[in-house]
């Protein structure tokens, strides 16, 4: 009888265990469904969240943490950022798995960005990044890197964005077509944001073709939209129209409203460029009907500019003035937001640098302490022979230290200097210049940039060979380096293109220096190359303004001025001016103290 009771009890335990497993599987299935619909079906999302929340007592801690994370995603879509942060903090308190913890940190960063609390967002990102670098799980790393790319895009930190997209691409290549597709797209977006249009176009075409091949239609649509934006920047509006209309049709089945609104704003600008005023008015009107929320501001900025130009063409100057006033107000909001992002990002970089230096200092002190203790022990316990061995050991260590120092210097030089010319490479020079630019900005000092390109350099390579071309690059670099001031930062930017960063230098002085460099190049004697030919270079110069948050706008303006020098016959120096910039991207600007009637009179006069 006792044996029978034991058997009955054992069977009951098995049945109960199977029931628990079955119930657990049901909740996992519901959570899987929720993770699918949370991005596309708000009504079903709310039903599932309510259903799972009512069964909270039956969920495991991991399941409940997962529910809270998915609930936070729904809060993010509803722009309820504080509720999202609260849900994520509760999810974190249940000690979730590494994979789920990774999602918690990344969604927390998104929520803080939504609240414009950029410093906290960067802190969370930094914490998560230091954590995942120690993990062996490649899938977690890829998803983390791609999420970081998104966050850095929102922060307008395009260098970091490109860096993590490259890491994600390297890890996902040949393993995950979807992640590889996203990585290719983000790399192209980074090129577009930094105005490298040729590379952006190639990147978007690569992502479009690869994603088409792997049946990822949403990313194909994103790539086509990117190609449309490149075409707009090149004023090739007919090409832009084709790409944007294709992307619009491909977004609609997915009800991807944010991207649809973005394309509407781009189409308004495209049809303005094509002089199809009715369509430009129609698409701009769709954008202006959107709610006045932060996510829509960049679209409305473009639409108000289009509507202002349309009103101006119709002679409705008061209406044009109103739209331009709206445009300027939105621009100011976005500018302030961008400045806040830039300040938070620079502060985070500074703090991380300080932490690294502090850790290095502590490690160094610990090493010194250990060495002192070892020395004391040797002095107490060893005889004369031991001391002689120690002395010999120190000699060997010194020799080893000298060798290591030499190797470190060698590798540091390889990492920081251009292999052919010996001057700073682009990344190193730009990092040094960015730091100096920030210091000069705080002191209200002007900062200038000079960009120059050797004229007809391809002909030298084609006619005399690449050896002669290399000789030219080395001799030009030597000549310019001798002519530079001690604080100037000289770098080879790309191929035969060079940049001089000039701290604490105004535009007039920068032009004088550029002219000196131009004359130095023009006077070079090429007979020592074994050939005789003329050398010259085209220069572009610009200086900083209060609106500049980094060196990127200065580099862009210097490049425009340099291209203008080439158009003027080469071998000259051009200082960037508003007129030169407007000749490539015309715009209307309302002065802060200008009344509607004054604006109307000026518009008629300029028209």
Query: Which active-site residues does the annotation give?
Result: 496
Where b means 16+ CB within 10 Å and e means fewer, 384-415 reads eeeeeeeeeeeeeeeeeeeeeeeeeeeeeeee
How far is 92 from 392, CA to CA, in rounded Å? 56
SS3 542: strand
106: tokens are: 């990344």
> Are the C-beta atoms of 71 and 49 separated by less than 8 Å?
yes
**Strand pairing of 573-575 and 537-543?**
parallel
Q: Which helix (H) or strand (E) holds 448?
A: strand 448-454
Q: Nearest Cα to 552, choosing from 190, 304, 206?
A: 190
268: tokens are: 């308004």
CA distances from 383 to 390, 393, 506 (A): 11, 15, 69
How far is 562 from 137, CA to CA, in rounded Å? 48
1: tokens are: 């009888």
What is the number of alpha carbons within 13 Å of residue 94 lying toward its C-beta? 19
Report residue 198 CA to chain centroid gap: 18
Return all residues near 483 (Cβ < 8 A) that are at least 6 apart: 516, 517, 520
What is the number of alpha carbons within 13 Å of residue 330 lying toward its C-beta? 21
> Are the C-beta atoms of 46 and 74 separated by less than 8 Å?
yes
How far is 111 from 88, CA to CA, in rounded Å? 10
- Sheet harboring 489-494: ordered strands across? 489-494, 497-502, 448-454, 537-543, 573-575
**Total Cβ atoms within 10 A of residue 10:** 10
Report residue 495 CA to chain centroid gap: 24
> Are the C-beta atoms of 328 and 297 separated by less than 8 Å?
no
How far is 148 from 128, CA to CA, in rounded Å? 10
Provide the 8-state DSSP code for 424: B
């Amino acid at each position: 009888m006792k044996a029978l009771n034991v058997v009955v009890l054992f069977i009951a335990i098995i049945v109960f265990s199977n029931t628990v497993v079955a119930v657990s599987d049901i909740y996992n299935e519901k959570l899987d469904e929720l993770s699918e619909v949370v991005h596309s079906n708000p009504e079903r999302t709310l039903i599932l969240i309510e259903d799972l929340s009512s069964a909270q007592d039956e969920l495991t801690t991991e399941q409940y943490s997962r529910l809270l994370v998915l609930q936070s995603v729904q809060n993010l879509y509803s722009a309820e950022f504080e509720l999202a942060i609260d849900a994520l903090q509760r999810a974190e308190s249940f000690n979730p798995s590494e994979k789920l913890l990774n999602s918690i940190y990344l969604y927390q960063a998104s929520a803080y960005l939504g609240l414009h609390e950029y410093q906290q967002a960067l802190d969370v990102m930094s914490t998560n990044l230091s954590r995942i670098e120690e993990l062996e799980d490649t899938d977690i790393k890829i998803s983390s890197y791609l999420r970081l790319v998104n966050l850095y895009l929102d922060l307008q930190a395009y260098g970091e964005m490109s860096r993590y997209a490259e890491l994600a691409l390297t890890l996902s290549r040949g393993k995950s077509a979807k992640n590889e597709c996203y990585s290719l797209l983000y790399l192209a977006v980074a090129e577009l944001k930094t105005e490298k249009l040729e590379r952006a176009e190639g990147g978007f075409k690569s992502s479009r073709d690869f994603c088409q091949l792997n049946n990822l239609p949403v990313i194909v649509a994103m790539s086509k939209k990117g190609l449309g934006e490149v075409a707009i920047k090149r004023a090739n509006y007919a090409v832009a129209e084709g790409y944007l209309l294709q992307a619009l049709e491909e977004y609609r089945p997915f009800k991807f409203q944010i991207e649809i609104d973005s394309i509407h704003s781009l189409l308004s600008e495209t049809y303005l460029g094509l002089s199809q005023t009715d369509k430009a008015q129609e698409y701009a009107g769709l954008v202006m009907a959107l709610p006045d929320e932060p996510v829509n501001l960049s679209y409305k900025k473009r639409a108000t500019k289009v509507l202002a130009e349309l009103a101006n063409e119709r002679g409705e100057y008061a209406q044009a003035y109103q739209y331009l006033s709206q445009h300027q107000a939105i621009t100011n909001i976005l500018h302030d937001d961008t400045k806040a992002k830039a300040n938070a990002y620079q502060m985070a970089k500074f703090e991380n640098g300080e932490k690294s230096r502090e850790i290095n200092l502590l490690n160094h002190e610990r090493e010194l302490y250990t060495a002192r203790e070892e020395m004391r022990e040797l002095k107490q316990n060893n005889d004369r022979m031991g001391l002689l061995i120690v002395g010999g050991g120190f000699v060997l260590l010194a020799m080893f230290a000298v060798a290591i120092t030499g190797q470190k210097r060698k590798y540091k030089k390889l990492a920081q200097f251009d292999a052919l010319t010996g001057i700073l490479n682009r990344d190193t020079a730009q990092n040094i210049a960015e730091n100096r630019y920030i210091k000069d900005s705080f002191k209200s000092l002007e900062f200038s940039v000079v960009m120059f390109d050797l004229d007809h350099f391809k002909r030298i390579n084609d006619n005399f060979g690449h050896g002669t071309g290399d000789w030219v690059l080395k001799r030009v670099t030597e000549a310019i380096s001798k002519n530079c001031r001690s604080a100037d930062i000289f770098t080879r930017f790309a191929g035969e293109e060079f940049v001089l960063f000039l701290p604490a230098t105004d535009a007039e002085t920068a032009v004088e220096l550029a002219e000196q460099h131009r004359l130095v190049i023009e006077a070079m004697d090429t007979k020592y190359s074994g050939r005789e030919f003329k050398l010259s270079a085209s220069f572009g110069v610009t200086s900083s303004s209060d609106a500049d948050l980094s060196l990127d706008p200065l580099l862009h303006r210097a490049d425009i001025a340099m291209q203008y020098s080439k158009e003027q016959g080469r071998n000259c120096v051009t200082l960037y001016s508003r007129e030169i910039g407007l000749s490539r991207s015309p715009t209307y600007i309302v002065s802060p103290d200008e009344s509607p009637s004054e604006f109307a009179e000026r518009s008629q006069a300029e028209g």
